[in-house]
Amino acid sequence: MARKKRKVPGINGASSADIAFMLLLFFLLTTSMDTDQGLPRRLPNPPENKEKQEEVKSKERNVFKVHINSENQIAVQGEAVSLTRLRELAKEFIENPANSELLPEKELVDIAYFGERMVTKNHIISLQCDRVTNYQTYIDVQNELAAAYNELRDVESIQQFGKPYKSLDDEDQIKALQDLYTQKISEAEPRDYGTKKK
């Protein structure tokens, strides 16, 4: 007598969706994702109406204009400068040590740990580049401008707290230095300044 072939029972696929979901969830929770870090910039609060907008317009002496043209040349207040000189010019502008009338106005401000100090509270560094400016030049200029603030903070931090700004771990001390030299870098929309003619 011939034997009957036994039928192999089908695999129950009802739970496969649950297993796939649990695997997906496991990988999402255990995998770390790289996050790009941008340049830290604080945007000003939007003005409430047109009258306030007109008041916000800075005096010419309070604005440090930095332009990068299509050939990656840097100009400060309309004069060509090298990248190496940019940091020193920015530091002088931010600090205004001699209280020059050509540099930002100084105001008396009460700052924690430092007491009442004259600071250039309303200064702004305005950065504008050409649409075809090299990205590396743009980043280099950004780094020099940020370094100007950090060097000024370092000097005050060493005098007041005995260590550089980046080594501080007390949030109140860090905030006091940021209040002393508030980073105000405004990035204007890129333009076509001296685009090369073909």
- Summarised one tens digit per residue, pLDDT across range 74-125 is 999 999 999 999 999 999 999 999 999 999 999 999 999 999 999 999 999 9
Q: Which two tokens stand for residue 85?
A: 């000189």
pLDDT tens track for 135-147 = 999 999 999 999 9
Chain CA centroid to CA 159, Å: 26
- Mean model confidence pLDDT for the chain: 84
Intra-chain end-to-end CA distance of the chain, in Å: 94
Class of residue 22 by CB neighbours under 10 A (exposed 0-12, middle 13-18, buried 19+): exposed
Which SS3 state, helix, strand or coil, does residue 180 take? Answer: helix
Residues 6+ positions from 153 with CB-CB distance below 8 Å: 165, 177, 178, 180, 181
Mean pLDDT score, 33-57: 56
Q: Give pLDDT, residue 195.
A: 45
- Domains of the chain, by residue range, sit at 58-187
Q: Give pLDDT, residue 46.
A: 60
Q: How far apart are CA 107 and CA 121, in angstroms?
A: 6
Mean pLDDT score, 2-29: 77
Q: Give pLDDT, residue 193.
A: 57
Q: pLDDT band for position 198 (50/70/90)?
A: very low
Mean pLDDT score, 33-59: 57
Chain CA centroid to CA 148, Å: 13
* Residue 196 scores a pLDDT above 60: no
Q: pLDDT band for position 44 (50/70/90)?
A: low
Q: Give pLDDT, residue 191.
A: 77
pLDDT tens track for 146-189 = 999 999 999 999 999 999 999 999 999 999 999 999 999 998 88
Q: What is the DSSP letter of 163?
A: S
Residue 75 vs residues 41, 62, 71, 138: alpha-carbon distances, Å? 22, 17, 12, 13
* Residue 54 scores a pLDDT above 60: no
Pairing of strands 124-129, 185-187: parallel
Q: How far apart are CA 13 and CA 33, in angstroms?
A: 32
Q: What are phi and psi of 64, to 5 degrees?
A: -105, 100
Q: pLDDT band for position 32 (50/70/90)?
A: confident
Higher pLDDT, 3 or 17: 17
pTM for the whole structure? 0.70
Q: Which two tokens stand for residue 34?
A: 């790289």
Contact 153, 181 (CB under 8 A): yes
Find, among 67, 85, 78, the residue nearest to 138 by Cα.
Answer: 67
Q: How far apart are CA 133 and CA 195, in angstroms?
A: 9
